[in-house]
Chain A
Amino acid sequence: DAKTTQPNSMESNEEEPVHLPCNHSTISGTDYIHWYRQLPSQGPEYVIHGLTSNVNNRMASLAIAEDRKSSTLILHRATLRDAAVYYCILRDGGYNKLIFGAGTRLAVHP
């Protein structure tokens, strides 16, 4: 399984945009980029996924580099509830198991 690299931690202020980076230089052509987050004392929850094009949903936006070797999860206006560990995961076309790294711990300050 291809690996991803994320910063250990990031901080943001409430109501400001947050850009969470992820490097995946060994991504293959069939790997989708998935983002999950894990709020304290909860199981992970799906945020967004994409293959090549940028994606938007009600939770976030995903910007994918043209060479697909990196991506950025964008939270447009951080809230205190967005404080969580964010995981960037490459998932092959088989859509089976998720391989989690250590993720980025996001702290949001009032």
Chain B
Amino acid sequence: DTGVSQDPRHKITKRGQNVTFRCDPISEHNRLYWYRQTLGQGPEFLTYFQNEAQLEKSRLLSDRFSAERPKGSFSTLEIQRTEQGDSAMYLCASSVWTGVSYNEQFFGPGTRLTVL
């Protein structure tokens, strides 16, 4: 296992279209996080899962955004009716219970979305 993978790495779409991104976490990592990063800013938290349960969603996650992790393994993030303001890097991260705590998050390379 080589780390968190994300697909696609780049996506260009037209305003109003729907897009879906996939994240494959590190095997046996039961926590999975989604972040969004715009140019020059640090990543912003969107949502996270513990196994298949979505435990927290940011106010940034409007009704047009939905995330799933159906079997507690990979996750998908869908954006409906994309807007130009959705253009950003979408990052996925995963972490594992060490027996004491969840410590470091391992990030994927991100999916860069451009909405024209």
Residue positions of A touching B, CB distance < 8 A? 34, 42-46, 49, 85, 87, 93, 95-103
Q: Which listed residue, B40, B45, B56, touches A98 by the CB 8 Å rule?
A: B45
A55 to B105, CA, bound (A): 18
Interface size of B by Cβ–Cβ distance < 8 Å? 26
CB distance from B65 to the nearest CB of A (A): 16
Q: Give the chain B neighbours of A96 by CB distance below 8 A.
A: 48, 55-56, 102
The answer to whether A97 touches B48 (Cβ under 8 A) is yes
The answer to whether A46 touches B44 (Cβ under 8 A) is no
**4 A-B pairs closest in CB distance:** A100-B42, A43-B107, A46-B104, A95-B102
CB distance from A46 to the nearest CB of B (A): 4
Q: Give the chain A neighbours of B26 by CB distance below 8 A.
A: none
